[in-house]
């Protein structure tokens, strides 16, 4: 199958490599001009819209609006194309994307993912798929290559994006919860390693707690998912809540804490750097 990729960041690169390994012909465009072994680089994004399926992995609403919408790219695409947006975009923008695709008569689905680039490199992402059933069926062959499971979120792309935003919101809440717990326990003589051994083997054994407790224990925050992207997704969650006129106080708290961590120099670190900011700030205040 001829597959187009738009966006070759860390996630896009890992996805492209998996598709090549699976035997597909992959044509990719990126702003950086990045090249990957086995992937044919194209000079313009419209060339990545000429095949059977195109996956877009741009960073945010603004990038997708510029590259896909304002350029009129959908109207230049192969009429039989299935467009899969893997990026995490706002719920509001997903409705706009629905209109643009319908006007261009291009089939599309949402397929944001749970998992970092290292997970993508193993083909073990969790894909949150939303869209028309017949389009999802056409896309499944490709989505299975990059995933360990495809989760069907319903008939609308908005549902899939809402689910992804909510999941990322909950991960940041878990990171902050662990950091605040360490503030209390470590101040009373309990090493964070022992505390996390307790919680991982009793109350909180999920992957998010496993991965990010390890970062907090080792004080290593190498980027798996950058804090700037985490902050972006928290802004999307706040926007979704505002659109519903819903008050979400914990979301407000983690958004502010992530924002402070980014502004304190953690923008390119893993988003769990928020925990380090919480720990340092709490210690400074207690002295």
Q: Which residue has the tokens 């896009």?
A: 12
Angle between helices 157-186 and 91-104 (to 10 degrees): 160
- Which residues are known catalytic residues? 164
* 3-state SS assignment for residue 221: coil
CB-based contacts of 50, cutoff 8 Å, min separation 6: 2, 4, 27, 77, 78, 81
Burial class of residue 249 (count of CB atoms within 10 Å of its CB; 0-12, 13-18, 19+): exposed
The CA distance from 29 to 90, in Å, is 23
Neighbours of 66 (CB within 10 A): 12
Whether residue 124 contacts residue 97, with contact meaning beta carbons closer than 8 Å, is answered with no
């Amino acid at each position: 199958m001829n597959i187009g990729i738009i966006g070759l960041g860390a996630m896009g690169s890992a996805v492209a490599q998996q598709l090549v390994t699976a035997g597909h012909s992959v044509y990719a465009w990126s702003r950086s001009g990045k090249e990957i072994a086995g992937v044919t680089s194209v000079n313009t994004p419209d060339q990545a819209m000429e095949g059977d399926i195109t996956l877009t992995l741009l960073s945010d609403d603004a990038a997708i609006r510029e590259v896909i919408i304002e350029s009129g790219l959908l109207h230049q695409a192969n009429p039989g194309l299935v467009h899969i947006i893997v990026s995490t975009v706002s719920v509001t923008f997903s409705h706009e994307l629905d209109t643009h695709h319908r006007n261009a008569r291009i089939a599309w689905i949402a397929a944001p993912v749970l998992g970092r680039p290292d997970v993508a490199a193993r083909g073990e992402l969790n894909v949150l798929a939303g869209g028309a059933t017949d389009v999802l069926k056409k896309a499944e062959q490709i989505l299975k290559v990059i995933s360990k499971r495809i989760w069907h979120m319903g008939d609308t792309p908005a549902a899939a994006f809402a689910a992804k935003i909510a999941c990322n919101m909950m991960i940041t809440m878990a990171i902050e919860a662990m950091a605040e717990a360490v503030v209390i326990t470590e101040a009373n003589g309990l090493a964070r390693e022992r505390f996390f051994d307790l919680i991982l083997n009793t109350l909180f054994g999920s992957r998010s707690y496993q991965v990010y407790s390890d970062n907090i224990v080792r004080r290593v925050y190498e980027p798996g998912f950058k804090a700037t992207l985490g902050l972006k997704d928290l802004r999307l969650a706040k926007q979704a809540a505002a659109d519903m006129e819903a008050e979400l106080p914990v979301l407000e708290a983690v958004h502010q804490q992530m924002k402070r961590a980014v502004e304190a120099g953690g923008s390119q670190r893993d988003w769990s750097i928020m925990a380090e900011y919480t720990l340092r700030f709490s210690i400074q205040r207690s002295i």
